[in-house]
Amino acid sequence: MVKMNYITEEGLRKMNEELDRMMKIERPAISKAIGEAIEKGDISENAEYDAAKDAQGMLEAKISVLRGKIATARLIDESKVDISCVQMLNKVTIRNNTNNSTMQYIIVSEPEADLKIGKISIQTPIAKGLMGKKVGDVVEITVPSGKIQLEIIDIAI
């Protein structure tokens, strides 16, 4: 069974740009490095050659994974996002009832997650615990540091 990756148009564009960069810039650079190492002679004891071949293997693995994510990507129609309960693409404002701090997150697919800008993956314990809940609901979520109680303050787009 193929796992679908639900993603926004912006997220898919970024993945395609990353794939393009790897294939058009990184791949030729590694090939050039391998060629230069071969020109230096005996490759059986050539550390530059070994390093370039290792980099090539890692890059090809990354390209393969990214191609798989793009192939299974399904675009989310952002105009049809509901805010009656927490779901993907919602901007959720929550209050940690333990320390009374307030946080705001946008729930996105795994490839789009970026905690620095407040985007958390739907795969995180917090996002999983909030899914389907409504404003005013209090949920107890197990995180690596223990259990926390979060109250949903607002749901927006």
CB 83 within 8 A of CB 157: yes
Helix H or strand E segment including 23: none
Write out pLDDT tens, residues 48-68. Answer: 888 899 999 999 999 999 999
Torsional class of 77: left (φ above 0), alpha (ψ -120 to 50), beta (otherwise):
beta
Query: What beta strand segments (E) does 2-156 contain?
Result: 5-7, 73-75, 91-96, 101-108, 119-121, 138-143, 146-156
* Domain assignments of the chain as residue spans, ordered by start: 5-75, 81-156
Predicted TM-score (pTM) of the model is: 0.67
Write out pLDDT tens, residues 64-114. Answer: 999 998 998 888 877 777 889 998 889 999 999 888 999 999 999 888 889
| DSSP classification of residue 26 | I
DSSP 28-52: HHHHHHHHHHHHTS-GGG-HHHHHH
Mean per-residue pLDDT over the chain, rounded: 89
| Domain 81-156 CATH (choose: 3.40.50.170, 3.50.50.60, 3.10.50.30, 3.20.20.70) | 3.10.50.30
| DSSP classification of residue 4 | P
Q: What is the pLDDT of residue 41?
A: 76
* Percent of the chain clearing pLDDT 90 (strictly above): 55
If one looks up domain 5-75 in CATH, what number appears?
1.10.287.180
47-71 and 9-21 helices cross at what angle (nearest 10)? 150
Helix, strand or coil for residue 91?
strand
Write out pLDDT tens, residues 16-47. Answer: 999 999 999 999 999 999 888 888 877 777 88
